[in-house]
Structures are given as C-alpha cells and as structure tokens.
Amino acid sequence: MLEHLGADGLVVERTGGVVTVTINRPEVMNAMTTKMFGEFGRIFRSLNADDTVRCVVLTGAGGNFCSGADVGGQSRRASGVTSSNPLRNLRQIKASAMALHDCQHPVVAKVHGMAAGAGLNMALGCDLVYAADTARFSEIFARRGLTIDFGGSWVLPRRIGLHRAKELALLAEVIDAVEADRIGLVNRVVHEAELDAYVDDVVARIAAGPPLALSMSKALLNHGVETSMSQALEAEAAAQATNFGTGDTREAGQAWIEKRPPKFTGS
C-alpha cells in the first residue's frame, strides 16, 4: 500500500514499512524554508512514534538533495518584506535536527546532486548516507557569512574527524563524491543510474530485520562515543535482556533450526 501525505515542500510516501521523505522544492535546489523545517520536525516525530515503520529514506526531488536553508527567503525577510524572529526560526531548525536524530528507526539518506549547508548536515544526521557519483557536498555556511548548524558541529567531527571537519567548515569548499568517499563523509558512492536500486536493496534488507533490536543498536552506537566502556557494556546488557524477551529473538532461533530466513514482526 502506498500512502501520499502532502506537506509544504515535503512529500511523504509509504510502502509497507518503508517511508520515503522527499524534500520537494526543485526550483531552488530543495532549499528549506522555516515552515518546512517545522514540518520536517513534525514528520519525524510522527515517524518515531509509529512502531509499524521499519525504515525511512530521506532524499530530494529534481536531481538535488538539499541546498540548505532558504537564505534568499531569509534575506527578503531581513529587508522588511516580512518580519521574523531569528531565534525562534533557529530553534525550529534545532527541533527539526533533534527529531531526525531521535528517530528510533534506521534512516537512510539518498543523495543526488547538491547537499550543502543544513542539507549536508541533514544527510549526515541519517544513519547511512549513499551518494550518486555526481553528488557534491559543501559546508557552505562561511560563504554566506554564517556558522555551521543543523547539528553539523556535533556530527561532522564524529563522522570524519575534527581537523577534516574544520577544513570543510572554514574553507566552505565544494567537494565531489570521490573526495566525500575518501574522507568518510558518505558510506558509499554509487553510479548515478544505479543509486535508486542500490538504496532500495539496502532498505529492503533493513526492513526485513528485527525492528526493536535494530533501534536499540542504533541508540547504543549513537550514545557509545559519550559513555565509558563500563556504561556501554551495561547498556548493551539491558538491550540484550530486552531482546531475549521478544518474539523476534525466538523466531530467529526457530528459523535457524528450520534453516529458513526469519520473519520478524517487531513483537
């Protein structure tokens, strides 16, 4: 079953347990307005609360992922076309970034074309990032007289190391997919024509997995860099204890005995 849920500049589609969120303003390379950031947060909070979701794909329409915040629109507001409170807007962006980060389900970024500024950090906020060989990336903030946002200061050094993160942020250069792959910015680069099929395969494999166990592994890995070894082991023990009480773990054991693929239900 395919569900279409309309939103301002965002399209949400669902097939079974897989939900695809598409940033849909191709005329401005999918730049995000303040209203879109608010809707983005609402969507991901809703997805997080839905235990029937198995995996989420985040992508962009029209050949680009996302060029970041709609700075042109912000400039028009600053010139007096409309009034706005900058702090309130930026807190909306913060809430959106946290909604993405807090989503219990695996989130896969599928990157065609440009991912810049908040758009790049939105991709990095996903659990897996797959890019077309034609994709381009930039922490473009400095070119706009701005500082890094949408969680980039937190996720970027964890992804590629502190000094490479500083290089991207301070120089604000545009790098290609080959360089992004070399420095570990993405999980894998795939030929443009093959990216959709590749991501579909990855997502199908995730969706077939045990949802509760995967969500706990995601949380353990996200928090692992902030905990001691002892704390990590204790958290792992609590997660495993939870798993042993689930139908999915029993199903995995039965499937192994019967030499068949397990059918996980999330129970």
Q: CA–CA separation, 74 vs 72, rounded Å?
A: 5
| Domain layout of the chain by residue ranges | 2-207, 211-258
Q: DSSP code of 51?
A: T
Q: For every one of its 267 residues, what pLDDT tens digit does the chain have, with 9 covering 90 and above? A: 334 444 679 999 999 999 999 999 999 999 999 999 999 999 999 999 999 999 999 999 999 999 999 977 644 444 344 446 778 778 888 999 999 999 999 999 999 999 999 999 999 999 999 999 999 999 999 999 999 999 999 999 999 999 999 999 999 999 999 999 999 999 999 999 999 999 999 999 999 999 999 999 999 999 998 899 999 999 999 999 999 999 999 999 999 999 999 999 988
Query: The whole model's pTM is what?
Result: 0.91
CATH class of 2-207: alpha beta
Distance of alpha carbon 130 from alpha carbon 69, whole angstroms? 22
Helix (H) or strand (E) holding 114: strand 114-116
